[in-house]
Homo-oligomer: A and B are copies of this chain.
Amino acid sequence: MKRLLVIGGSDAGISAALRAREVDPSWGVGLVVADAFPNYSICGLPFFLSGETPRWESLAHRTRTEIEGRGIELMLDTIADHIEPGEHRVWVRPTDGAERAMSYDRLVLGTGAAPALPPIRGLDTPGVYLLHTMAEGLAVHDHLTARSPKTAIIIGGGYIGLEMADALRVRGLAVTLFEAAPTVLQTVDPEFGRLVLGELERHGIAVHTSTAIQAIEGGPSGVVVHDTAGERVEADLVLVVAGVRPQADLGTRCGVHAGVRGALRVNRRMETNVSDVFAAGDCVETHHRLMSEATYIPLGTTAHKQGRVAGENAVGGYAEFQGSLGTQVVKIFELVVGRTGLREDEARRQGFSPWTFESVTWDHKAYYPGASRLRIRVTGDLRSRRLLGAQLLGQYGAEVSKRLDVFATALFHAMTVHDVAHLDLSYTPPLGSPWDPVQTACMEWALAAPASDPRKDA
């Protein structure tokens, strides 16, 4: 029996293992997982910590029994120490056992990412948490339940920082959030970042923008943070959520080439340069559909797709990763904000002549109760008129995320902005308009866009 070994039990690894079994059940599939939590939805931690999801066990995408029921051999609490690609074997070390070698015919690396460590002194102060693994999530939960903190500081205003601000506020804590940039959520335009900031403040979060933290230390009754302006703020609990970096060293130590930000380099079939070694998920570079070079966009959706491709190819099938558009969405209190494709600055770096127009429409016919305003920022190329990206912001319940997905599907097919109006989208007054806001936004872009790029032609 041929043997596929997968290292990593999160999105990429599990997807690879499941797909391999679907494509060719004659292969044996082993899955090496560093902790005891295979296939957990780390994205769900904020909702567990807010109390909205009472049981951490429900964060599992699948139970152990389900995974094993698909014919996958699970090795939990087992560290993959090093790979000997010439011998086709991996040395693994179970927490409670001796190191041993496991042979493979094909190997998939899904080693994921680790929290980025910002240049702050005292990150190891008790009461400071880097929220990334299930174990850390459970540690924060223990702190919240056993010690009933009243105040929290969050360092970092990205997706997770904002979700945690929401979560801890729902839990009743007073929350202070620090962000080094002039506004929060750097992944969308500042126009939207400021609206998100307003939503945070409306819900009582104290937000300090343009403020970096330089040191953390234990205080008389909790943790004290010092910002670069010399101010100090104290709280019972500090979360540091400053993004992630690829966890690629298992691969690079055996000769896999690394690229952008140290992520493993792979082709569209998720093959590395090392024979019979594939890689997928947050540990690899991301192929972007609209960019000419590789980038690094660690997202669960992408990890699932790449893992599926790796798993299919590893057992002799043929699949290609079709590329990311960086599609992301987040709910913060009553607001939903998302993006897909490129923003202007990103598009300009790729040689496009981008231009952005923001439209404001009702999410559905205003005469039907509950209509709310939906903001859509469309970015298109002034020369080819191709759609390059879209950002949406609206109320929870206004079908913001699936409208974003209509844009993502249009982007996948390289539509022009103008052609979006030709799509036959659904309409009923309680849910939309005869021209969906997606289309209105594109029609407004097309009417307002200059005939050529003023920057290029100047």
CB distance B429 to A405 under 8 Å?
A: no
Partner of A401 from B324, B330, B431 at Cβ < 8 Å: B431
CB of A234, distance to nearest CB on chain B (Å): 32
Contacts of A366 in B (CB 8 A): 58
A59 at the interface (CB under 8 A from B): yes
Interface segment among A79-87, A148-156, A250-258, A416-424: the answer is: A416-424
CB distance B47 to A304 under 8 Å?
A: no
A357 at the interface (CB under 8 A from B): no
A447 at the interface (CB under 8 A from B): yes
A336 at the interface (CB under 8 A from B): yes
Contacts of A55 in B (CB 8 A): 367
CB distance B410 to A331 under 8 Å?
A: no
Number of interface residues of A (CB under 8 A): 74
CB distance A47 to B431 under 8 Å?
A: no
Q: For residue A321, which residue of chain B has the nearest CB?
A: B422
Give the complex CA separation of A322 and B222 in angstroms: 64
Interface residues of A in 199-218 (CB under 8 A from B): none
A344 at the interface (CB under 8 A from B): no
CB distance B367 to A41 under 8 Å?
A: yes
CB of A294, distance to nearest CB on chain B (Å): 16
Contacts of A408 in B (CB 8 A): 423-426
Partner of A406 from B369, B402, B421, B428 at Cβ < 8 Å: B402
CB distance A412 to B424 under 8 Å?
A: yes
A142 at the interface (CB under 8 A from B): no
Most B CB atoms within 10 A — which of A41, A43, A397, A406? A406
Interface segment among A101-109, A122-130, A432-440: the answer is: A432-440
CB distance B340 to A308 under 8 Å?
A: no
Contacts of A58 in B (CB 8 A): 366-367
Q: For residue A58, which residue of chain B has the nearest CB?
A: B367
Q: Decide yes or no: A331 and B434 within 8 Å by CB, A408-B423, A426-B404 being known contacts.
A: no
CB distance B367 to A428 under 8 Å?
A: no
CB distance B325 to A424 under 8 Å?
A: yes
Interface residues of A in 392-413 (CB under 8 A from B): 396-397, 399-406, 408-410, 412-413
CB of A380, distance to nearest CB on chain B (Å): 17
A22 at the interface (CB under 8 A from B): yes
Q: For residue A323, which residue of chain B has the nearest CB?
A: B424
Contacts of A367 in B (CB 8 A): 41, 44, 47-48, 53, 55, 58-59
CB distance A424 to B304 under 8 Å?
A: no
Partner of A405 from B305, B329, B425, B428 at Cβ < 8 Å: B425
CB distance A368 to B401 under 8 Å?
A: no
CB distance A429 to B22 under 8 Å?
A: no
Q: For residue A44, which residue of chain B has the nearest CB?
A: B429
A52 at the interface (CB under 8 A from B): yes
CB distance A399 to B396 under 8 Å?
A: no
CB distance A329 to B426 under 8 Å?
A: yes
Contacts of A430 in B (CB 8 A): 47, 331, 396
Give the complex CA separation of A195 and B36 in angstroms: 42
Give the complex CA separation of A396 and B419 in angstroms: 29
Contacts of A409 in B (CB 8 A): 406, 409-410, 413, 423, 425
Q: Decide yes or no: A423 and B427 within 8 Å by CB, A406-B405, A434-B300 being known contacts.
A: no
CB distance B431 to A336 under 8 Å?
A: yes
CB of A410, distance to nearest CB on chain B (Å): 6
Q: For residue A330, which residue of chain B has the nearest CB?
A: B428
A 54-76 binary contact with B (CB < 8 Å = 1; else 0): 01001101000000000000000
CB distance B301 to A424 under 8 Å?
A: yes
CB of A336, distance to nearest CB on chain B (Å): 7
Q: Decide yes or no: A300 and B427 within 8 Å by CB, A368-B52, A406-B405 being known contacts.
A: yes
Interface residues of A in 298-321 (CB under 8 A from B): 299-305, 308, 321
Give the complex CA separation of A368 and B163 in angstroms: 13
What are the 4 closest A-B residue pairs judged by CB atoms, nearest first? A402-B402, A322-B422, A329-B426, A409-B409
A sample of 11 inter-chain contacts (CB < 8 A) reads A11-B434, A41-B367, A44-B368, A53-B367, A300-B427, A301-B434, A401-B428, A402-B402, A402-B432, A409-B413, A409-B425
